[in-house]
């Protein structure tokens, strides 16, 4: 510190002396802003002088403008209603700890020879013996400081993935760097699941500080994530692997973890999984599209005893649906012929390439009802609808339908479309516009995390989701950015990479490691890795 601060310093608030402390204890003040939503928010700041080199911290008073914030940094927020903001947590951010050298908060040890620690120019070496179980120790860097992130290490010529020491915002930390020299990108990995050896059913404090093994399964820590990404100029990459061997990779151009409840800000989705599997059924026939996702303009119930309440429902409009009783039992049939439609909610935006259509199932061949021509509409919000158009014009494309009630007829669009909601609109029919159908499209990874953006982080012991009565993190036994897990779960829970690890793929709805837009809600994944890097 500057000379005037070497032996002691005095912290003032409202022109009163509040503490005189040894130079080995930093008193951090709270520069408070305006009150918002019943809470007062501000930043912890250091008194004027050199960076904190102490071994402990003491939190000072409120309501003052004594100390300026550190330029270009983003220290943790203080909030009246956040008891988890403690001197210990704040001290770690300023690199003020109880003893030096500093023990890794993750207790990292090397477990795989091929993942040994690498040392970049100017970085601090860490333990790398595969059988060594002692905690990794960070020594004070001499004479230069460790690199700021994995990108700097890659740019310095270290092309191998592994454990490195970095320093960000005056905090020294060990991280696992995923190096991709072919693209010139170095990522900080902050989450990995691979074998279930580490439980992710952890407390709020454990998720804040981090846990696990950097060369195995781990969570780097929400406080570190906020410190790294708090300036909003970072991107996120997620890689996934299923038990059937399929692999996927997605990128989000914008990624930030905010200080208040570590809420998630993510946008700019891009699927980098390569060629998607296209020309496949999207789930009407096999039931992966639930009944609740199928609706219609109306349903025929007009007092006709042969069309009982068990018949003509929208959910009966599945390809090859046969029903459960005699009479007209298979297929959707509307109440009125004009302007009728059958709608499917795919749950998220998918690429749709065509439709398979089929007449209503009538085992007695009494009614002979089917659609002979139809058009297709699509939308992302159910308010703004567009027609699938001809490739050579702007008019809606009209597709041929059936000539009998049983033979499926497949029609492909001139140009594939991407949408969440699809409507089939009959324009001509035999006797009545009754039908069964399937959608054809591509199996893509999909944006499962986007639905969780602006959600607060929840842990089993600290609930921040929007569900009344239900604690999502407790229910799914892992911390995540949950929004809801009640009746609206299909709209809000489309990912959870911190759930229980299962050694097989098939699970109950939404359990396990989930990326719903890729494999559905009843498939738990084998492997996941989340990593981030500063955008150029």
| pLDDT tens-digit profile, the chain (536 residues) | 333 322 222 222 222 222 333 334 555 555 555 444 444 445 555 554 445 544 444 544 432 332 333 334 444 444 333 444 455 555 555 555 543 333 333 333 333 333 333 434 444 333 333 333 333 333 333 446 789 999 999 999 999 999 999 998 778 899 999 999 999 999 999 999 999 999 999 999 999 999 999 999 999 999 999 999 988 799 999 999 999 999 999 999 999 999 989 999 999 999 998 766 789 999 999 988 889 899 999 988 755 555 555 678 999 999 999 876 555 568 999 988 889 999 999 887 888 999 999 998 877 667 789 999 999 999 988 999 999 998 888 899 999 999 998 999 999 999 999 899 999 999 999 999 999 999 999 878 889 999 899 999 999 999 998 877 789 999 999 999 999 887 667 778 899 999 999 998 899 999 999 999 888 888 999 999 999 999 98
Rounded to 5°, angle at Cα 496 from 491 and 477 = 115
d(CA 197, CA 216) in angstroms, rounded, equals 8
Which pLDDT value is given to residue 95?
57
* Helix, strand, coil content of the chain in percent (nearest 5): 10, 35, 55
What DSSP string runs through 363-386? TT-SS--EEEEEEEEEESSSSS-E
Cross-strand pairs, 270: 251
Place of tokens 């959707």: 332
Q: Which pLDDT belongs to residue 385?
A: 97
Phi-psi bin for 491: left (phi > 0), alpha (psi -120 to 50), beta?
alpha
* Reduced 3-state DSSP string for 453-471: CCCCCEECCECCCCCCCCC
The confidence score (pLDDT) of residue 428 equals 95
Full DSSP string of 344-368 = EEEEEEEEEEEEEEEPPB-TT-SS-
**pLDDT of the residue at 279:** 92
> H or E segment at 510?
none
Q: Please give the pLDDT value at position 382.
A: 93
- Domains of the chain plus CATH, in order, are 3-93 (no CATH), 184-274+448-536 (3.90.215.10), 278-443 (2.60.120.260)
Q: What is the model's pTM? A: 0.62
Q: Which two tokens stand for residue 500?
A: 């229980």
Q: Which two tokens stand for residue 419?
A: 């949408």
> Structure tokens of 121?
């120019």
Helix (H, G, I), strand (E, B) or coil at 89: helix
Query: What are φ and ψ of residue 27, in 5° steps?
Result: -95, 115
User: Which distant-in-sequence residues (6+ apart) come within 8 Å of 88 by Cβ?
Assistant: none
Phi, psi of 324, rounded to the nearest 5 degrees: -130, 0
Taking CB atoms within 8 Å and a gap of at least 24, the contacts of 140-144 are 140/100, 140/101, 141/167, 141/172
DSSP state of 95: T
pLDDT score of 462: 95
**Could you tell me whether strands 370-379 and 399-400 are parallel, antiparallel, or unpaired per DSSP bridges?**
antiparallel
Per-residue pLDDT at 23? 39
HSE-up of residue 482 (Cα within 13 Å, Cβ side): 31
| Coil vs helix vs strand at 172 | strand
């Amino acid at each position: 510190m500057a000379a005037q601060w070497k032996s002691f310093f005095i912290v003032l608030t409202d022109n009163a002396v509040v503490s005189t402390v040894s130079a080995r204890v930093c008193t951090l003040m709270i520069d408070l802003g305006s009150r918002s939503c019943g809470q007062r928010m501000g930043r912890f700041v250091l008194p004027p002088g050199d960076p904190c080199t102490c071994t402990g911290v003491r939190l000072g008073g409120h309501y003052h403008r004594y100390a300026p914030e550190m330029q270009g940094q983003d220290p943790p927020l203080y909030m009246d209603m956040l008891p988890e903001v403690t001197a210990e947590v704040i001290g770690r951010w300023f690199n003020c700890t109880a003893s030096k050298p500093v023990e890794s908060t993750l207790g990292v040890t090397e477990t795989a020879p091929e993942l040994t620690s690498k040392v970049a120019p100017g970085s601090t070496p860490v333990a790398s013996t595969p059988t060594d179980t002692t905690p990794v120790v960070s020594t004070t860097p001499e004479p230069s400081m460790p690199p700021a992130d994995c990108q700097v290490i890659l740019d310095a010529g270290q092309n191998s993935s592994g454990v490195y020491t970095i320093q960000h915002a005056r905090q020294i930390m060990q991280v696992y760097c995923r190096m991709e020299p072919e693209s010139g990108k170095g990522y900080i990995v902050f989450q990995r699941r691979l074998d279930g050896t580490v439980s992710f059913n952890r407390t709020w404090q454990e998720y804040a500080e981090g846990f696990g093994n950097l060369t195995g399964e781990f969570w780097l820590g929400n406080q570190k994530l906020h410190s790294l990404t708090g300036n909003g100029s970072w991107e996120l990459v997620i890689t996934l692997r299923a038990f059937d061997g399929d692999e996927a990779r997605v990128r989000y151009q914008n990624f930030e973890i905010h200080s208040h409840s570590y809420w998630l800000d993510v946008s700019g989705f891009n699927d980098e999984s390569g060629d998607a599997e296209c020309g496949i059924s999207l789930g009407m026939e096999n039931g992966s599209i639930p009944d609740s996702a199928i609706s219609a303009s109306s349903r025929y119930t007009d007092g006709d005893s042969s069309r009982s309440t068990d018949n003509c429902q929208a959910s009966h409009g599945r390809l090859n649906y046969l029903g459960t009783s005699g009479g007209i039992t298979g297929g959707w049939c509307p109440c009125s012929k004009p302007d009728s439609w059958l709608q499917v909610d795919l749950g998220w935006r998918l690429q749709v390439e065509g439709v398979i259509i089929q007449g209503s199932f009538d085992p007695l061949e009494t009614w002979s009802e089917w659609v002979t021509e139809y058009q297709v509409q699509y939308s992302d919000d159910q308010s703004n609808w567009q027609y699938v158009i001809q490739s050579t014009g702007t008019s809606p494309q009209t597709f041929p339908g059936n000539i009998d009630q049983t033979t499926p007829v497949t029609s492909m669009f001139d140009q594939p479309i991407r949408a969440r909601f699809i409507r089939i609109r009959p324009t001509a029919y035999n006797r009545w516009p009754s039908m069964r159908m399937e959608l054809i499209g591509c199996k893509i990874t999909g944006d499962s995390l986007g639905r969780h953006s602006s959600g607060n982080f929840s842990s089993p012991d600290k609930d921040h989701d929007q569900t009344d009565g239900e604690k999502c993190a407790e229910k799914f036994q892992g911390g995540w950015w949950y929004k809801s897990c009640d009746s609206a779960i299909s709209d809000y829970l489309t990912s959870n990479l911190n759930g229980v690890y299962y050694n097989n793929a098939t699970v109950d709805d939404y359990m396990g490691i989930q990326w719903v837009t890729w494999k559905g809600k009843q498939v738990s994944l084998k492997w996941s890795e989340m990593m981030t890097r500063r955008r150029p």
